[in-house]
A and B are shown apart, each in its own frame.
Chain A
Amino acid sequence: MTGWTGWTGWTRRRFLGGSAVAIGLPLLDSLRSPARADVRSTSMAFVAFYVPNGMHMPAWTPMTDGPGWELTPLLASLSDVRDQVDVITGLRNAPADLETAGHHAAGTAGFLTARRARRTETDVEVGASLDQLHAQATRHDTFVDALALGIDAGDRFGECDNGFSCAYSRNISWSDPHTPRSKLVDPRVAFDMLFGGFDPAATAAERDERRSRRRSILDTVADQAASLRGDLGSGDRHQLDGYLDAVRELERRVEADPPSCGDALRPEAPMDFVDHVELMTEIMVLALRCDATRAITFMLGNSASNRDYGFLGVTGGHHDLSHHAGNPDAIAALQTIGAWEVERFASLVRRLSEIEEGDGTVLDRTLLLFSSELSDGNGHSHDDLPVLLAGGAATGREIGRHVRTAGAPISELFVSTLQWLGHDVTEFGADGRQPLPRL
């Protein structure tokens, strides 16, 4: 009998041999109700797309409200998907607003949590993030409960932001107030997380053996952790709890059917930043297309990233430029970068809108949030944040408007989002007590 080969010794790049397989995901059929009036289902997927250092809002905010919003310089690339995207302005993230420095870290920690992060080097605390709440609700229906992706692992030295642990700057996804969901920055590893270990050449019997083998091993180590944890008195079990949760999630994945859909090529190592972003975008499209997960977060860069955008003809680091002090060249540079970031988001939205599923598209069952940890980077403002909400037509919601709020908490948008995602909630974060009224 053949042994369990695990994931290495696996040199074939083409992960699924043979002809393309039609996407047939039973769960989604229940979503395809023609009226689309009152669809509430956890079949909806959520994607958070984070860009660092804010946005130059004067070039962002459309002049008119309502549907048919005019394309401002920063939003121009959304023209062909405009009717699938809401521009929501005036939102603020008060919990992330500090009296002293640390705005990038606090803004990033509060990005999907709407909570105030504790200013500390090690005993981190903020809140559970919106994507992780959705992951917990959908985990039994998807192969992977969530996918946290990024580009920058993080610099290797020094402090990150005025006494805030680097954990806050490098994560937007928090499975609980103390535990960031560490992101994957290598597209090959992300691919393997979704599809690795799946050998199309294996027979059903072989697959069962492998499954049984993994199950035995995972059971053994879970027992060891449980008994270790059981030995503890009142001590801190946090680390071992995290271990047990993680192992249980793996056990669940062992039992689950790996995602199968179409041909998927394992990516190569990224050649440069632009390639890296494109590869990660492809991973997101693949994961959604195959319904491998319904909770994805993506950080285009870490908080306060000082990336050089020379390939756009821009001189200077992004964070440095965001402290423009009114300098017109710096502002122009920021706009160039901002427009490029929106274009990357537009590209993801467009790709999803092109994948047909039943009567609609993958975009119809996916809600995508685009935003940043700040609005004006120069003043470290958490008011009038740059926010886009795309997709989700299957919920029956109105899409394609400029909604101007007057300082509403962004956590209210998160309440609305969770409701569209099928959650029965009316509160979220520190200040979200209702869904966003204008939506």
Chain B
Amino acid sequence: MRVSSTMMRSAVLVTCLVAGCQDGVTAPEHAEMNVAADVVAHRLNRAEYDNTVRDLLGTALRPAVDFPADERGHGFDNMVELLSMSPERAALYERAASELARDVVSDPKRRSTVLPCDSDDEESCARQGLEHFLPRAWRRPVTQQEVDSMVDLYGHLRTGGDDSDEAMQGVVGAALLSPHFLFRIEHAPAEDTDQPQPLSDWELASRLSYFLWSSMPDDELFALADGGTLDDPDVLREQVDRMLEDEKAQALVDDFAGQWWHIRGLQDVFKDVTKYPRFDDDLRDSMRIEMESFFSDLIAQDADLRDLLLGSRTTVDRPMLELYGVASSHFGGTRELDLSSLPRTGMLTMPGLMTVLSRPFRTAPVKRGQFVMSQLLCAPLPPPPDGVEGLTDIEPGETFREMLERHRQDPSCAGCHATLDPLGLAFEHYNGIGAWRATDDGVEIDASGTLPDGRSFSDAVELGNLLSEDPRFVECVVRQTMTYALGRGLQDEDEAHVRSAIDQLVAAGYRTRALFSVVATSVPFRHHQPLEAP
């Protein structure tokens, strides 16, 4: 695993992080801590844990695979309220911390980077190493007492019989088991005001890095926080651009797009082998990679994000090309495919998405309709009435469309299904593994439909066009991004800021990078969550 180059930075920053510096601003966290009224302790989820230790220690270990799964809310697994602790989790953190500590202390090269010292005296050396390590591990300046306390632990372990390596492992392990490492701590000062309270620069640096990288801040972000200059819209925009160009932004693809567009669902989806003999683990991977590359390219090229619905260029390997029904001679690797001559549009009709939104041996129009409503329009329909769920059987000779029409005869179903069904049926040309078909069981497929507002479409490609013009789409994109960035659902107090972010995004030409900038510079992102009314 390549060690991040940012780990090799200067020691100047380090000294500052210990005692606080710059204009007498000493360890700002503690100045506020005594009067804090509200604290959010946002536990790292599995992906964040592994990425953080990768960046902090340069380790190849991925301990989080053993941790219990993170709970999910609003479609994402980084929601503050759902990230809880349990004895099992703590036991596994303890184990991971000790393995990680041994891994780094026993590697001289990495040790000298992570715990540098230039003293021959053992205690000074330990102290120096910790003065460098702790602020980075805990993502904020540390006080003299905090360092002293860890040096005391070191001494205590030495007295107890540990040699110097073992004692250092113990202290590093403690630092990684600490709540200061496992949680992102945000303190809101107790001011008697309705005004939103700004995050400190340190807190903002962490929010930003976990948003775009699912990992800890790098030295540049730390330096800006230390200089007190991060919480400035221009600086934030610059940082967003820089961070989106870093390979660590792959996390946005894996974690944000992976959940928002259900790409992660490909890992577990099951298909009936007789019905879809072509579907194997290789094709599954190809599907995932196509969607991930598409999203990644949107960012890299700073494309118009409506390309999610309208884009005509994708990167595919040979199995995917075949699935798209395009003949080609054998080739290895990937090549670009122009979708404009195919009945396809953007990510909306990609085989990966269609595969996830299907059942083991057939399509799932209702799921596909629900995807559009909830993931693309942020307008999920209310739950079905009681006593209802699952589909009526398709009668012999009946198409899916006809079955759904019959189902809609029931007035208690029609309300929602009048909206839902046409959306889902628009995708009927894409079978259970997303391959295009003209007929289903010998019957010509009719993918046309009408939206509640009266606009009609003849197929999914046209639907994509209509959706791209629907203001709810861009609004939904902003909402999803903001929910993910904040780790919580949006509330009434956020509405004005959501609107502002949307306006800015539109003014910026719907550029993908602007999406992340408008969220990162928004009021909710830069402030503590509004306190509950007493």
Contact = CB atoms under 8 A, between A and B. Distances in A.
Task: Tell me which of A9, A121, A153, A323 has the highest count of chain B C-beta atoms within 10 A of its own C-beta.
Answer: A121
Interface in B36-56: 36-43
A159 B170 contact: no
A98 B386 contact: yes
A221 B33 contact: no
A394 B504 CA distance: 70
A243 interface: yes
Interface stretch (A108-116, A210-218, A258-266, A427-435): A210-218
B499 interface: no
Contacts of A167: 71-73, 82
Contacts of B178: 220-221, 224-225
Contacts of A184: 68, 88
Contact of B89 (A1, A122, A154, A246): A246
A239 B71 contact: no
Contact of B389 (A8, A144, A323): A323
Nearest to B77: A156
A308 B393 contact: no
B95 interface: yes
Given A220-B174, A224-B180, A379-B387, A231 B91 contact: no
A246 B87 contact: yes
A180 B71 contact: yes
Nearest to A212: B160
Interface stretch (B264-272, B299-307, B446-454, B461-469): B264-272
B387 A239 contact: no
Contacts of A234: 37-38
Contacts of B335: none
A104 to B, nearest CB: 9
Interface stretch (B161-169, B321-329, B338-346, B428-436): B161-169
Interface in B157-210: 157, 160-163, 165-166, 170, 173-174, 177-180, 182-183, 185, 187-188, 190
Interface in A102-144: 102-103, 120-124, 144
B174 A217 contact: yes
A317 B362 CA distance: 12
Interface in B221-280: 258-259, 262-265, 267-268, 270, 272
A242 interface: yes
B72 A166 contact: yes
B79 A121 contact: yes
Contacts of B153: 216-217, 220
A403 B365 CA distance: 45
Given A121-B489, A166-B73, A228-B179, A3 B162 contact: yes
B365 to A, nearest CB: 15
Task: Tell me which of B90, B149, B162, B259 has the highest count of chain A C-beta atoms within 10 A of its own C-beta.
Answer: B90
B173 A180 contact: no
A233 B90 contact: no
Task: Tell me which of B42, B166, B390 has the highest count of chain A C-beta atoms within 10 A of its own C-beta.
Answer: B390
Contact of B188 (A144, A181, A235): A235
Contacts of B43: 239
B386 A101 contact: yes
B265 A235 contact: no
B84 interface: yes
Contacts of B359: 317, 320
Interface string A360-383: 000000000000000000111000
A246 B94 CA distance: 11
Contacts of B88: 148, 181-182, 184, 193
B414 interface: no
Contacts of B90: 243, 246-247, 249-250
Contacts of A322: 390
Nearest to B176: A221
A239 B84 contact: yes
A146 B383 CA distance: 35
Nearest to A173: B86
A380 B387 contact: yes
A163 interface: yes
Interface residues of B, number: 92
Given A217-B153, A317-B359, A179 B86 contact: yes
Q: What secondary structure prevails in chain B residues at the interface with A?
A: mixed
B39 A182 contact: no
Contact of B173 (A217, A243, A308): A217
B81 interface: yes
A239 B92 contact: no
A162 B150 CA distance: 48
Interface string A327-352: 10000000000000000000000000
Contacts of B392: 325
A70 B429 CA distance: 52
B389 A380 contact: yes
Interface string B102-124: 10000000000000000000000
A327 B393 contact: yes
A270 interface: no
A424 interface: no
A180 B165 CA distance: 38
A210 to B, nearest CB: 10
A6 B68 contact: no
A232 B91 CA distance: 26
A311 interface: no
Interface of B: 33-43, 66, 68-69, 71-75, 79-92, 94-95, 98-99, 102, 149-150, 153, 156-157, 160-163, 165-166, 170, 173-174, 177-180, 182-183, 185, 187-188, 190, 258-259, 262-265, 267-268, 270, 272, 356, 359-361, 374, 380, 382-393, 488-489
Given A157-B258, A157-B356, A240-B39, 8 more contacts: A3-B165, A165-B73, A214-B94, A216-B160, A228-B180, A232-B39, A235-B36, A246-B90
28 contacts: A3-B162, A3-B165, A4-B170, A7-B98, A122-B74, A148-B88, A154-B72, A156-B264, A157-B259, A157-B264, A159-B380, A167-B72, A167-B82, A180-B86, A184-B88, A192-B95, A214-B94, A218-B94, A220-B174, A223-B149, A225-B178, A225-B179, A231-B34, A235-B39, A236-B40, A246-B86, A315-B272, A379-B387
